Amino acid sequence: MSFPQVRPRRMRRTPALRRLVAETRIHPAQLVLPMFVREGLTEARPIPTMPGVVQHSRDTLRKAAVEAVHAGVGGLMIFGVPETRDETGSASCDPNGILNVALRDLASEVGDATVIMSDLCLDEFTSHGHCGVLAPDGSVDNDATLEIYAEMAVAQARAGAHMVGLSGMMDGQVGAVRSALDDSDLSDISVLAYAVKYASAFYGPFRDAVESALTGDRLTYQQDPPNGREALREVALDVAEGADIVMVKPALPYLDVVSAVRAAVDVPVAAYQISGEYSMVEGAAANGWLDRERAILETLTSIRRAGADIILTYWAAEVGALLSRA
């Protein structure tokens, strides 16, 4: 008696078969495009450490946003780069500061065609480059920072943000911002919590993009890379405080954390494919060491497979257009 042979390869024989049985798929609506807008620019300025990414002027930001919307991206995450900074990051709350002006521009340009998200952190606005205000001893003053975050959230929401992205890793930041929004009749504004943000070596190109003034490190408030269980405690606290979405950052070095967070919560889970992840692929591709398009899609697929519902990636518009043509 002969027995049928088990041949999994049968289902890999043609592109059509592989598409039919694919377990993980990427859709443009699951991708969010981070964008930088710099005060004082009249045209886009390339970021040397992030090939293909630029600091936008207000005009080029609007045009790039429209292109991203046409590519089907799910959202835009906006970072502001001011011309001047001070100890308390006062430009962050200024209705006429670059981030809030840019949010108004986008609200006028694209409306509700995509989700307009704003980075809610002080590091781009402070002269010392930390994510909060400093106490007299030089440490970051958590509670004083929360007061400014609350003010920033209201300013960003009134400027046109649909969602605020809390990236500073201050204890209690979600609760403080949620309360401030609710108390200001802005309860419809969503909160994306950078619930798990590691003190990573992969942020270098981003700091060039926002012209960070940081000296030293953020080890006392960003999460320590060896710790995974701690990430779940951070996530649980943010969900309890009212986070609508929780995010893990970076993505690729922490796929195990993405998976664990997905299993632990019933809110959407995001992951941020950060600047260093982007620049590694672009650098290797420029040297002919790997196939750029395949590497991009493979990395994004791995993040989705790990459990992320939403991915912030600098390739969002490009990949959205690519997937739309597929």
**Could you confirm whether 197 is annotated as catalytic?**
yes
**Could you confirm whether 63 is annotated as catalytic?**
no
Set 162, 197, 262, 304: catalytic member: 197
Q: How far is CA 128 from the centre of its chain?
A: 22
Identify the band that residue 325 occupies on the pLDDT scale cut at 50, 70 and 90: confident
User: What confidence tens digit (pLDDT) does each residue in 223-233 have?
Assistant: 999 999 999 99
**Position 87, amino acid:** E
Whether the CB-CB separation of 176 and 146 falls below 8 Å is answered with yes
Set 249, 269, 276, 303: catalytic member: 249
Q: Specify the CATH class of 26-325 in words.
A: alpha beta
**Position 208, amino acid:** D
User: What confidence tens digit (pLDDT) does each residue in 96-140 have?
Assistant: 999 999 999 999 999 999 999 999 999 999 999 888 899 999 899
Q: What percent of the chain is helix, strand and coil (3-state, nearest 5)?
A: 45, 15, 40
Identify the band that residue 204 occupies on the pLDDT scale cut at 50, 70 and 90: confident
CA neighbor of 259 nearest in space, from 250, 275, 267, 248:
248
Whether the CB-CB separation of 273 and 298 falls below 8 Å is answered with no
User: What confidence tens digit (pLDDT) does each residue in 19-77 have?
Assistant: 899 999 999 999 999 999 999 999 999 999 999 999 999 999 999 999 999 999 999 99
pTM of the model: 0.95
Q: Is 223 helix (H, G, I), strand (E, B) or coil?
A: strand
Q: Which stretches within 184-253 are classed as H helix?
A: 204-209, 229-241
Domain ranges of the chain: 26-325
Could you tell me the sign of the dihedral formed by the alpha carbons of 104, 106, 108, 112, in that order? negative
